[in-house]
Structure 1
């Protein structure tokens, strides 16, 4: 019996379409280019984070300025992701990808040469802006190049390996390169981005823009302004204060801009974003699931980085090696995640992923302490997180783009990646606020494990919410869909 779940404009069936057999050398080459870009995105964030203390010492930057080396990237990246994905649909994926990758390479080179903290932050913003166009465009090129079903799931599995490997490798490479000089953490991605640019120009075929009719300029302005102000307010709120009038005013203004965007999109003849895509239940659940996955995982890793280095006194390299099992598990298992997705469907794999993540957070919450045993407390948690991330990333991406027309693949890709970045920024900001509050409340033990307990409770709760969002439709579906007995023969 075939069971189908029907939602507006989308029908997902348990029977997979015929596989796209016999990948050609060009297909493998395109996938390799996209994977390199995904690797560089993950590498850049984690590698630069390790170098922050050295950057502050050489350029004379305080903690507030240093955070904007990271947050400047997040501001450009999270604020423009949705526009970046839709722009690829409207102007052509190959064209947008090549231009954005060129800007990414140039910003990497300039960032390693400047001697001003302000210019360094500007280059980080420009680099985040470029990544906001390369990331969803790379995703939409993949989903339009590889047919939906086993072939696309396999490609997404390989794609996710490089994203996770880039982040985990960045921790180790950051420690090694920072020892030689922090500028190498900025310069190193440049030659790889240039090589990927040359390969992309030669391999990725030209595509016709999908946009028809006029351009939604008002929608673009309100979307970009609303998203960037939202990200800026979220990342600056912990240092300024959540109850600060400027913080509250920024939230109100951002909400007004985004509300204006939705009003405009409902009225213009050629909207930048077709809002009907937000009525598809599986796509909405995928976007909420990616918030739970990325928001909890990145916040947990942020707390572990501080705890292991600042509290336990571990070196950056030792800390990176301690967390490396997560990245290794993702790298080893992700290429095979497409198979269980084909067999069980995305929803069940997402459920297994968020269950594993929740168990990992709970394990460290109860087994950790001021002097946690690596074998007893840290290693089991990293293993569970690695399994959860490997299963979750690929299955969520597959669900977020399944059944979407090629003309809107950039929109769907930009939407899910926007959810991951903005959601992660929001959860991280809340986590930072709780850890800071825990530091003040803990008093004499402010430098111990108790300082991080409120943040650990938060990330566990975020994962649990994502788990509930995934499991409820499965329970309802089990009740709704019942096998119809075959009629008896006379």
Structure 2
């Protein structure tokens, strides 16, 4: 499964070298690649995500946890200094003055974090607590893939009629409803009780994610569309990592405080499921501000 993308990416690379027309190197890129900026940014995100994961240990071994978080924040500061001094910065810091873009990026980060964090906990619930196989779990979660059908068919029509901000806001509200419906999950819940959450969360993703990309680049000058798109992808990937890290930390912390019984494990899952709800609630303000 991990090797398959390597071969696909290799085939795409070879096809791109042959089919994508060559372009002259832009004048803004003559100063070289900002390797220091890229390295500090990547290391900062890695350390911050690692620090969040380590929160599951609570007060035990707190030093490394705080050290990872502090080092991550320090590298964020280093990245800012590097970008201010670089001849050809990886990120022009002035782009963050576009408040609509920033709010859309933060909203996307929270939305994706909640979406993938929720999937991760539900997968653990089905496989570890309920004993479902990987195939059964995959078939159960396939309802969330309804976004693949709805996104190209329904979402563009809604955006044309109501605008991207209202559609994104609707997606966030649906996500809140979906994750909240799963909070009282029981030990022997039938699939029929899970299905509303799965189908609603997939619909929420279809409504929010595509229009979020519009909001993230809508207020940016044409020559910086690529930068805004790259930042959006970075925010969403980091959000996914943080979302999974956060639910893992809450689950681990709750399990450590229980007696190890199936009931205590279920309570730990319920505690972790609060994280996606909180994340989408925090993000509901971003669509209105990104108009």
The two structures share one fold, judged by TM-score above 0.5: yes
**Considering only CA atoms, is the larger Rg found in Structure 1 or Structure 2?**
1
1:338-366 Cα deviation digits (max 9, x unpaired): 23223322211110111111100111113
2:234 aligned with 1:418, yes or no?
yes
Aligned to 2:74: 256
Q: TM-score, normalised by structure 2?
A: 0.87
- Decide which of 443, 446, 464 is 2:281's aligned counterpart: 464
CA drift of 1:268 comes to 4.6
Aligned to 1:380: 196
Aligned to 2:116: 298
Secondary structure in 2 aligned to 1:404? coil
Q: 1:220 to 1:452 in 2, by over 3 A?
A: closer
Aligned to 1:339: 157
Aligned pairs for 1:219-238 within 5 A = 219-235=37-53, 238=56
Q: Distance in 2 between matches of 1:340 and 1:374?
A: 30
Aligned pairs for 1:28-43 within 5 A = none
CA drift of 1:237 comes to 5.1
Aligned to 1:400: 216
CA drift of 1:448 comes to 4.8
2:244 aligned with 1:428, yes or no?
yes
Q: CA RMSD in A?
A: 2.6
Aligned to 1:440: 256
Q: Distance in 1 between matches of 2:249 and 2:49?
A: 16
- Decide which of 13, 25, 43 is 1:209's aligned counterpart: 25
Q: TM-score, normalised by structure 1?
A: 0.54
Q: Distance in 2 between matches of 1:331 and 1:387?
A: 9
2:123 aligned with 1:315, yes or no?
no
Q: Distance in 1 between matches of 2:212 and 2:285?
A: 15
Larger CA deviation: 380-389 vs 394-403: 394-403
Q: Distance in 2 between matches of 1:356 and 1:250?
A: 35
2:225 aligned with 1:409, yes or no?
yes
How many residues are aligned here?
287
1:272-311 Cα deviation digits (max 9, x unpaired): 3111111112211111111221111111111111111111
CA drift of 1:390 comes to 0.9
Q: 1:256 to 1:318 in 2, by over 3 A?
A: same
CA contact (8 A) 1:242 1:248 kept: no
CA contact (8 A) 1:341 1:395 kept: yes
Secondary structure in 2 aligned to 1:371? coil
CA drift of 1:452 comes to 0.9
Secondary structure in 1 aligned to 2:284? helix
Q: Give the unaligned 5+ runs of structure 2.
A: none
1:411-461 Cα deviation digits (max 9, x unpaired): 212211211122222222221121122223443344653221111112111
Q: Distance in 1 between matches of 2:6 and 2:79?
A: 36
1:16-74 Cα deviation digits (max 9, x unpaired): xxxxxxxxxxxxxxxxxxxxxxxxxxxxxxxxxxxxxxxxxxxxxxxxxxxxxxxxxxx
Q: Distance in 1 between matches of 2:187 and 2:135?
A: 20
Q: 1:198 to 1:266 in 2, by over 3 A?
A: closer
